[in-house]
Chain A
Amino acid sequence: MGRTSSTKEDAGALFHSLRSAYAATPVNLKIIDLYVGFAIFTALIQVVYMAMVGSFPFNSFLSGVLSCVGTAVLAVCLRIQVNKENKEFKDLPPERAFADFVPCNLVLHLVIMNFLG
């Protein structure tokens, strides 16, 4: 009895601490997180749709899912490079990170359009 209530309290305490830590992140990182969440959510919708309908134009399915996943990956890379608390990229200007982000996305969308059928 005491054990479960303590795990429940621990879960609650964990959740609160995570939430307050996250509230402390800068706004631009939160914008990137929102963007990543949007991409993953779209990917999940597509997977559920494919599970219902079947994989008939498989190339279109792959193209759609890959565009979402690729976008998410590139956004995560941008977040890593822009985050000021990240020691590894201390010397990299955030403008340079964004300047790498844009052409990568352009190439990704070019490939996606080609494979979409």
Chain B
Amino acid sequence: MGKLWLICIASISILLPFLCNAFSPETPTDRRVLVLLDDFAIMSSHSLYFNALKSRGFDLEFKLADDPKIALQRYGQYLYDALILFCPSVERFGGSIDVAAIVNFVDSGHDLIVAADVNASDLIREVGTECGVDFDEDPSAMVIDHIGYAVSGTEGDHTLIASDDFIKSDVILGGKKIEAPILFRGIGHAVSPANSLVLKVLSASPSAYSANPKSKLSTPPPLTGSAISLVSIVQARNNARLLITGSLSMFSNRFFRSGVQKAGSQTKHEKSGNEQFLTEISKWIFHERGHLKAVNVKHHRVGETDEPALYRINDELEYAVEIYEWSGTSWEPYVANDVQLQFYMMSPYVLKTLSSDKKGLYSTSFKVPDVYGVFQFKVEHQKLGYTSLSLSKQIPVRPYRHNEYERFIPAAYPYYGAAFSMMAGFFIFSFAHLYSK
């Protein structure tokens, strides 16, 4: 009885970490999303965006940001797969959520969308800083663009800007080109160039700057030009995806439906690109696109099928791996021509590009180098917008056994001849010595 109890405890404690993943490895798309709002009016004013999410199968749970009963996890298990923060002015989260809880949520592999706005609270700014972006320090600063603003009847202070400076990535923004510019009204943020995980999806035009529209500028603004990022994404090393933006009204029904005309251009678009842009980017954030898995790593000597425990130097070997991409509903073969394999011991001795058979199987064959030791088969694949693949399999390589060396080498025939002639000479000499006079 005691043993059974022990087995139960052991199995639960082994399974518990797996229960905390954002998604099961079989279906990576998030399902349960917690949406924290400043007030429930946002539910109706942003209903187009939420309905688009619901129609794709997400379970949205709307709560006020300072609701005392909200919690991300209970008894060590996460209740949601993703978090949307549409609460730019919240001073303190309710319940058991705080910045540390949100950071842990992301660290355990879950996704996050944060929308700040003008006069965003310090809490939201802190969340942004933890994610790797720096909002403008002036709380009432907005992004102003006197050249790239959106022509509109009412707002004349050029804080409503139309931007079409997108990142070039079909994975993140979808295959269809976004024709109309994006309407944006809010604060900008900067991305540190040293940070390789954060990407600017939508940048401001070179003529934009971040300042308080109501007060006169006394010093040059710290954030200017294309360094201002309007929408940024982060793909963390554990493949959690985050979206940070400085405008909550970008998601609103009003911006989705309104037409847009960029100042200085003749084309007036019937509908802004906001809906298409945000729908596509949410697909990327919630792992409906660009999520890879690598399975079935196989290696063997050419001509054999089973995997040896170690190789010999100068062996011919073949390596194969299957890589699939999640399409939102099923695993499709991933097609790329730049997945590389390293045969690595302190530095790559062999670097080969794996060739794909278009059905997801990547393979190559090469000769083991003339060095023995413990090597690793390493596949490191990091492509913009895709999850990073980091596979590593250790394999020892042994030198020749004493009976595996070459024998009867033609270049050594003179030496063989000399040795044998010495033996013959000794034989003849011994007769001559014994039987001479």
Main secondary structure of the interface of A (DSSP, over half): helix
The answer to the question of B6 belonging to the interface, with a C-beta cut-off of 8 Å to chain A, is: no
Q: Which residues of A contact B414 (CB under 8 A)?
A: 45-46, 49, 64
Q: Which residues of A contact B426 (CB under 8 A)?
A: 71, 105, 109
Q: Which residues of B contact A98 (CB under 8 A)?
A: 430, 433-434
A31 touching B418, Cβ below 8 Å = no
The answer to the question of B407 belonging to the interface, with a C-beta cut-off of 8 Å to chain A, is: yes
Q: Which residues of B contact A112 (CB under 8 A)?
A: 419, 422
In Å, the complex CA distance between A28 and B436 comes to: 7
Task: Given the known inter-chain contacts A42-B421, A57-B409, A57-B411, please indicate yes or no for A64 contacting B416, CB distance below 8 A.
Answer: yes
Within 8 A of B (CB), among A37-55: 38-39, 42-43, 45-46, 49, 53
Task: Given the known inter-chain contacts A28-B433, A31-B432, A31-B433, please indicate yes or no for A71 contacting B422, CB distance below 8 A.
Answer: yes
Nearest CB in chain B: distance from A23 CB, A:
16
Nearest CB in chain B: distance from A87 CB, A:
22
B436 touching A68, Cβ below 8 Å = no
What residue of chain A has the Cβ atom nearest to residue B434's Cβ? A98
B412 touching A67, Cβ below 8 Å = no
B415 touching A56, Cβ below 8 Å = no
Q: Which residues of B contact A109 (CB under 8 A)?
A: 419, 422-423, 426
Nearest CB in chain A: distance from B193 CB, A:
54
In Å, the complex CA distance between A23 and B94 comes to: 119
A63 touching B436, Cβ below 8 Å = no
The answer to the question of A80 belonging to the interface, with a C-beta cut-off of 8 Å to chain B, is: no
A57 touching B421, Cβ below 8 Å = no
Nearest CB in chain B: distance from A2 CB, A:
47
In Å, the complex CA distance between A42 and B433 comes to: 20
The answer to the question of B40 belonging to the interface, with a C-beta cut-off of 8 Å to chain A, is: no
Identify which of A68, A101, A117 contacts B418 (C-beta below 8 A). A68
B409 touching A31, Cβ below 8 Å = no
In Å, the complex CA distance between A53 and B409 comes to: 13
The answer to the question of B405 belonging to the interface, with a C-beta cut-off of 8 Å to chain A, is: yes
Q: Which residues of A contact B432 (CB under 8 A)?
A: 31
Q: How large is the interface on B (under 10, 10 to 19, 20 to 34, 35 or more residues)?
A: 20 to 34
Q: Which residues of A contact B423 (CB under 8 A)?
A: 67, 109
Q: Which residues of B contact A65 (CB under 8 A)?
A: 415, 418
Number of A-B contacts (CB under 8 A): 83
A56 touching B433, Cβ below 8 Å = no
Q: Which of B405, B406, B432, B434 has the most CB of A within 10 A?
A: B432
A39 touching B425, Cβ below 8 Å = yes
B412 touching A117, Cβ below 8 Å = yes
Contact string, B394-437, partner A, CB cutoff 8 A, digits 1/0?
00000000000111010110111011011101100110111011
B409 touching A60, Cβ below 8 Å = yes
A68 touching B412, Cβ below 8 Å = no
B436 touching A61, Cβ below 8 Å = no
In Å, the complex CA distance between A82 and B46 comes to: 115
Q: Which residues of B contact A60 (CB under 8 A)?
A: 409, 412, 415-416
In Å, the complex CA distance between A51 and B185 comes to: 82
Q: Which residues of A contact B405 (CB under 8 A)?
A: 117
Q: Which residues of A contact B415 (CB under 8 A)?
A: 46, 57, 60-61, 63-65, 116
Within 8 A of A (CB), among B283-310: none
What residue of chain A has the Cβ atom nearest to residue B421's Cβ? A42
Q: Which residues of B contact A31 (CB under 8 A)?
A: 429, 432-433, 436
B419 touching A64, Cβ below 8 Å = yes
B407 touching A45, Cβ below 8 Å = no
Q: Which residues of A contact B412 (CB under 8 A)?
A: 56-57, 60-61, 64, 117
Q: Which residues of A contact B434 (CB under 8 A)?
A: 98
In Å, the complex CA distance between A102 and B434 comes to: 12
What residue of chain A has the Cβ atom nearest to residue B419's Cβ? A67
In Å, the complex CA distance between A68 and B264 comes to: 96
Q: Which residues of B contact A43 (CB under 8 A)?
A: 418
Nearest CB in chain A: distance from B243 CB, A:
64
Nearest CB in chain A: distance from B428 CB, A:
9
A27 touching B436, Cβ below 8 Å = yes
A53 touching B411, Cβ below 8 Å = yes
Within 8 A of A (CB), among B67-107: none
Q: Which residues of B contact A53 (CB under 8 A)?
A: 411
In Å, the complex CA distance between A51 and B432 comes to: 34
Contact string, B333-347, partner A, CB cutoff 8 A, digits 1/0?
000000000000000
Q: Which residues from chain B sit less than 8 Å from chain A, CB to CB?
A: 405-407, 409, 411-412, 414-416, 418-419, 421-423, 425-426, 429-430, 432-434, 436-437
Q: Which 4 A-B pairs have the closest CB atoms?
A: A64-B415, A60-B412, A64-B418, A60-B415
A-B contact pairs, 14 of them (CB 8 A): A28-B437, A31-B436, A49-B414, A56-B412, A57-B411, A57-B412, A60-B415, A61-B415, A65-B418, A78-B433, A105-B426, A109-B422, A116-B416, A116-B419
